[in-house]
């Protein structure tokens, strides 16, 4: 495999792939992760190389489990890594905070992929603050090359300090491709570690935590010394105008300084926590004014202002007064901020309007079985039920014509919030959750609901995969990332095991059966779990093509069609379109599911011969 075999040369890699390459060169033994954009390609690349490279890897049911697994591996003297999107660290934070206290034996690297501008997330929290909260060292790469280099450095740092190391990336770093100069991967056989018992370190009861907190602070003092001398923190350029920056913002700063011709010294921070205070103070002393360029929160700026006050410096500090506190940066925005900082322009220039592109909101794929459940739910309730929804492809039930998403907080919240609505209202409740999300965060709330006699219908949309992040396997399948023949854990069996008596399974592509089962379960006015099972159409069609078979295509008999519009306005499949007053099917969009034949009351949709 190329990611393993190429050596001592340049490779075109995503930032995420570069993390994996760096981990392999560092000698990683163990990894576990729940996929989440923008970190998903790290997990997927680890899955692809695990067998050939000689390491253990698995997709876990959630980030907390992944964090606990890599902590155990590290305590067994194995080098371990986990990765997750920024909100995933919220899920894993309980374990993460305690690992900081116990420390590690084998190197432990935790990659948090933040998502400024929320391209695929429910918030844009700045996870740099987790390094402050947990008191752990943090590195911030700005390019794929640095992703590779800093991953190796993070393992070394972790083992030297006996601490977990947080590596914080952002979407533009994760998903940028560039030439990465790599070293050599030494393949080996997968091997086991050995755990030496030390309950006075690894069992965090209050007496242990009392002592370990002091040890943690001592380790962070050593980390501060390493940050001061780290080659990841460096100064370039000259002059008495300064810019302090980190992450992808550094690349914008470099180009903006070149474009504007401003003479400036740049302090580039890659080892950002603990902050190299002496280096930063010396930098401030050599500058009349400094601009702090960082996406999202004033993480660095706040600390720089504190250093200014602590050392009674006269340096003029700017940051969020010239740069926004939300959304990701780009070159034009940073260039404008630097010009205003340097006095070359008074206000931010108005961006020129280019070609107006029609909006293209995301939609459920043609043939997606989730559409069928929303179509039926809206028919049965006329949209008057409360529809708690969850994180996944099916979140797109929010859009017209389904309008089947009324409340969403986080992974698994569709079940917990349904419990809350059940106790605080008398309204009908149909809650939607995907199979992967059900395993991730839905089960504890389901137990709460059945124990406390909640009344709602939980619809588990089981499309046999974790579709939104790249079709990773779930516990409902007989295989994982690198192994098959594994036990299958079905959502309906889990529900029954939790004590739910009203459990049904239905074919998600059979509208009549789906309508009948959903109505029966709603009429019982008790907590019920309806598993709507139909594979993701993209996976199903991939399998059909693999077998050399043809996918059905469909056409509309214009002699039978009365242009009622149900297929477009109610069912909402994007493969249908109107032209010259007639409805047609776009062959290049249709995925051949055939469910539309059940929607058309005039039998106007036919299989094309």
Q: What number of other Cβ atoms are within 10 A of residue 136's Cβ?
A: 26
H/E element, 533 = strand 528-533
CA separation, residue 543 to residues 65, 112, 569 (Å): 31, 34, 31
Beta strands in 294-443 (DSSP E): 316-318, 430-434
Where do the domains of the chain lie, and which CATH numbers do they carry? 2-226 (3.40.50.970), 233-341 (3.40.50.920), 370-544 (3.40.50.970), 552-607 (3.30.70.20)
Looking only at the bridges linking them, the beta strands covering 138-139 and 165-170 are parallel
| Both structure tokens of 93 | 């934070």
Residue 403: CA atoms inside 13 Å, Cβ hemisphere, count? 12
State the residue for tokens 């899920």: 91
CA 21 to the chain's CA centroid:
20
User: With contact defined as beta carbons under 8 Å apart, do 16 and 41 qualify?
Assistant: yes
310 phi and psi, to 5 degrees?
-60, -40
Burial class of 309 by CB neighbour count within 10 A (0 to 12, 13 to 18, 19+): exposed
Give the Cα separation of 348 and 412 in Å (integer): 42
Give me the numbers of helices (H) and strands (E) for the chain, helices first please: 22, 22
363: Cβ contacts below 8 Å, ≥ 6 apart: 396, 399, 572, 574
CA 100 to the chain's CA centroid: 23
Mean per-residue pLDDT pooled into runs of 10, the chain (609 residues): 83 96 96 95 95 94 96 96 97 97 97 95 96 98 98 98 98 96 88 93 94 96 97 95 97 95 95 97 96 97 97 96 95 94 79 76 91 95 92 92 93 94 95 96 96 96 90 88 88 96 96 96 95 93 89 92 93 93 93 94 90
Beta bridge partners of 243: 266, 291
Q: Residue 406, class by beta-carbon neighbours within 10 Å (0-12 exposed, 13-18 middle, 19+ buried)?
A: middle
Contacts of 316 (CB under 8 A, 6+ apart): 288, 289, 290
Please state whether the predicted TM-score (pTM) of the whole model is above 0.75. Answer: yes
141: phi then psi, degrees, rounded to nearest 5? -75, 155
Helix (H, G, I), strand (E, B) or coil at 460: strand
Interhelix angle for 40-53 vs 15-25, to 10°? 30
> At a CB cut-off of 8 Å and minimum separation 6, what does 516 contact?
none
For the stretch 355-364, contacts whose Cβ atoms lie closer than 8 Å and that sit 24 or more positions apart, written own/partner, are 361/399, 362/396, 363/396, 363/399, 363/572, 363/574, 364/393, 364/394, 364/396, 364/397, 364/572, 364/574
Q: What integer pLDDT is reported at residue 45 of this predicted model? A: 95
Please answer whether residues 171 and 133 qualify as being in contact, where contact means their C-beta atoms are separated by less than 8 angstroms: no
């Amino acid at each position: 495999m190329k990611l393993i075999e190429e050596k001592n040369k340049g490779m075109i890699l995503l930032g995420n792939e570069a993390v994996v390459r760096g981990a392999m060169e560092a000698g990683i033994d163990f990894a576990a992760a729940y996929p989440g954009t923008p970190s998903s390609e790290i997990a997927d690349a680890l899955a692809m190389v695990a067998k050939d490279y000689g390491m253990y890897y698995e997709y876990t049911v959630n980030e907390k489990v992944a964090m606990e697994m890599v902590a155990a591996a590290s305590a067994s003297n194995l080098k371990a890594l986990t990765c997750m999107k920024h909100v995933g660290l919220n899920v894993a934070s309980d374990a993460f905070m305690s690992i900081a206290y116990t420390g590690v034996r084998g190197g432990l690297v935790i990659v948090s992929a933040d998502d400024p501008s929320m391209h695929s997330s429910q918030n844009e929290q700045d996870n740099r603050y987790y390094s402050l909260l947990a008191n752990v060292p943090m590195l911030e790469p700005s390019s794929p090359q640095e992703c590779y280099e800093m991953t190796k450095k993070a393992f070394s740092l972790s083992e030297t300090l006996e601490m977990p190391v947080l590596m914080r990336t952002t979407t533009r770093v994760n998903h940028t491709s560039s030439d990465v100069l790599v070293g050599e991967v030494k393949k080996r056989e997968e091997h086991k570690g050995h755990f030496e018992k030390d309950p006075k370190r690894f069992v965090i009861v209050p007496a242990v935590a009392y002592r370990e907190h002091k040890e943690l602070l001592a380790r962070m003092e050593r980390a501060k010394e390493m940050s001061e001398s780290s080659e990841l923190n460096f100064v370039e350029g000259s002059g008495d105008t300064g810019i302090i920056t980190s992450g992808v913002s550094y690349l914008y700063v470099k180009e903006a300084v070149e474009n504007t011709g401003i003479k400036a010294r740049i302090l580039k921070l890659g080892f950002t926590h603990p902050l190299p205070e002496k280096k930063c103070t010396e930098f401030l002393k050599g500058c009349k004014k400094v601009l702090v360029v960082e996406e999202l929160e004033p993480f660095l700026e706040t600390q720089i202002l504190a250093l200014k006050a602590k050392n009674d410096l006269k340096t003029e500090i700017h940051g969020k007064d010239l740069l926004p506190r939300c959304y990701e940066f780009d070159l034009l925005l940073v260039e404008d901020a630097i010009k205003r900082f340097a006095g070359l322009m008074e206000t931010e220039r108005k961006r020129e309007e280019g070609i107006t592109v029609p909006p293209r909101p995301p939609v459920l794929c043609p043939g997606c079985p989730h559409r069928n459940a929303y179509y039926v739910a809206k028919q049965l309730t006329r949209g008057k039920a409360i529809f708690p929804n969850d994180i996944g492809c099916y979140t797109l039930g929010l859009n017209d014509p389904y309008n089947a998403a009324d409340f969403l907080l986080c992974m698994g919240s569709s079940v917990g919030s349904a419990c809350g609505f059940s106790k605080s209202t008398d309204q009908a409740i149909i809650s939607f959750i995907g199979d992967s999300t059900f395993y991730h965060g839905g089960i504890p709330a389901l137990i709460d609901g059945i124990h406390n006699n909640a009344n709602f219908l939980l619809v588990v949309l089981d499309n046999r995969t974790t579709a939104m992040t790249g079709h990773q396997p779930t516990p409902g399948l007989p295989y994982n990332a690198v192994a098959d023949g594994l036990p299958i854990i079905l959502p309906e069996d889990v529900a029954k095991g939790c004590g739910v008596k009203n459990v049904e399974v239905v074919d998600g592509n059979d509208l009549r059966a789906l309508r009948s089962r959903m109505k029966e379960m709603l009429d019982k006015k008790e907590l019920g779990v309806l598993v709507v099972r139909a594979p993701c159409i993209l996976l199903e069609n991939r399998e059909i093509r693999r077998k050399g078979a043809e996918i059905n295509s469909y056409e509309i008999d214009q002699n039978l069609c009365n242009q009622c519009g149900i297929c477009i306005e109610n069912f909402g499949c994007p493969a249908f379109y109107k032209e010259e007053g007639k409805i047609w099917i776009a062959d290049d969009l249709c995925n051949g599911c055939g469910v539309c034949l059940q929607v058309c009351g005039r039998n106007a949709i036919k299989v094309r011969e």
